[in-house]
Amino acid sequence: MKVVAIIPAAGMGKRFGSKTPKQFLKESGREVIAQTLEKFNSCKAVDEIIVATMPEHFVRLSMIVRKNNFRKVTTIVEGGKTRHDSVHNALMISGCSKNDIVLVHDSVRPFVTSKLIIETIHHAQKFTCAIPVLPISETVKKISKNDYVENTIDRSTLATAQTPQGFRFGVLQSSFQFAKQKRFNGTDESSIVEFAGHKVKTFPGEPGNIKITIKDDFKKLKTK
């Protein structure tokens, strides 16, 4: 059994408001994606890394890999218009067997720890599909189209999903095929396997494992 990490990095980061995709922005001389790849490259439980990005960034990403000696990055594959497409492209060339473990992690979550990576692998091995989540601490309201509160939602049954998300390759691959047939485009891998009828085990994530979405998030790199 091998463990393959897929890093989708084809996003343009429109919400971030930068001409350069946020995964390639630098802080303290290192690109965000370099800091993310470092965590998986240094984790002994990970055997291989596949990165999906747009063709115009192949050279830039290859230079980052060589400069940092990320030996576990074996393939850079063309990303798609959506995260769904990028991950599917990586799955297609992964060479995994059905019981291998596939991790999918956001390229702009550089604060992930080896502990969380290993926990995801262990949960995926035991439960087939597993994701880290965080409880919601704020009160959640359902809002009407004209901006009135319709009702307050019970937050005890809600959580926010993080990455890495872990799956047996066979289940993830078949779920993507099913989603393609039904023309379903998931926002994360968990939503795709859920759509295909599989149960997803949750376990505690890490509050520090944030996704860089806006410029204020990028500033947090300076404190790490």
Kindly report, residue by residue over 87-117, the tens digit of the pLDDT. 999 999 999 999 999 999 999 999 999 999 9
Average pLDDT over residues 144-151: 96
pLDDT grade, residue 75 (50/70/90)? Answer: very high
Token pair recorded at residue 87: 């991950």
What predicted TM-score, i.e. pTM, was given to this entire model? 0.93
pLDDT tens digit sequence for 32-46: 999 999 999 999 999
pLDDT grade, residue 27 (50/70/90)? Answer: confident
Q: What is the pLDDT of residue 19?
A: 73
Is-contact 22 218, C-beta < 8 A? Answer: yes
Positions of E strands within 54-118: 73-78, 101-104
pLDDT tens digit sequence for 13-23: 555 556 788 89
In this prediction, what percent of the chain has a pLDDT beyond 70?
92
CATH class of the domain at 3-130+161-223: alpha beta
Q: What is the pLDDT of residue 20?
A: 82
Q: Which residues of 56-89 are buried (b: 16+ CB within 10 A; e: fewer)?
A: ebeeebeebbeebebebbbebbebbeebbbbbbb
pLDDT surpasses 70 at 28:
yes
pLDDT tens digit sequence for 115-139: 999 999 999 999 999 999 999 999 9
pLDDT grade, residue 224 (50/70/90)? Answer: low
The mean of the pLDDT values for the chain is 93
Residue 160 pairs with which residues in a beta bridge? 134
Q: What is the pLDDT of residue 220?
A: 64
